[in-house]
Amino acid sequence: MYRASALDSYSKVDVETKTAVQNPHHLISLLFEKGCVLLRQSTEQLKRDDSDGFYKSTSHAMQIVVGLRGILDIENGGDLAAQLYETYTAIGLSLSKARNEKDLVAIEKLYTALNELRDGWEAIK
């Protein structure tokens, strides 16, 4: 119990340190990275029948996708922002369905989609 608490505290400090000194582009990269990691974790947790871990990972991944959607500048972003908004909405809805159905194949496809978005984001550096 103490070890988990210590790791959680360290993780929070690490995130605070990374986000305090980074530019917005890098922060979005971190969100994509964490979302991908969480989807990978959720597939492993589902394979191990770790329901608690699976629900935590998929819930956190969902929060990241909703967060990415929420930071879009729809008014000034043009067609690209509108398309990304629809894409994030579709990923969120699909993740919710896959989570409820414990659909491993669907979660792996969502990982691929989020990973492609991450790669696209990294390409615009």
pLDDT in tens, 80-101: 999 999 999 999 999 999 999 9
Q: Write down the pLDDT at residue 1.
A: 45
Spatial contact of 28 and 70, defined as CB atoms under 8 Å apart: no
Tens digit of each residue's pLDDT (9 = 90 or more) over 108-119: 999 999 999 999
Domains contained in the chain, number: 1
What gap in Å lies between CA 50 and CA 81, rounded to an integer? 36
Residue 5, in any domain of the structure: no
Q: Which residues contact 30 (CB under 8 A, 6 or more apart)?
A: 18, 19, 22
CATH number, domain at 32?
1.20.120.340
Task: Write out the residue range of the structural domain in which residue 53 sits.
Answer: 22-123
Residue scoring higher pLDDT (125 or 54): 54
What is the pLDDT of the chain when averaged over all its residues? 88
**Is 56 exposed, middle or buried, given 0-12, 13-18 or 19+ CB atoms closer than 10 A?**
middle
Query: What whole-number distance in Å separates Cα of residue 19 and Cα of residue 34?
Result: 13
Does 17 fall in a domain? no
pLDDT in tens, 18-28: 555 578 889 99
pLDDT at 64 over 60: yes
Q: Would you say residue 7 lies in a domain?
A: no
In a domain? residue 118: yes
> In this structure, is residue 6 part of a structural domain?
no
Judge whether 91 lies within some domain: yes
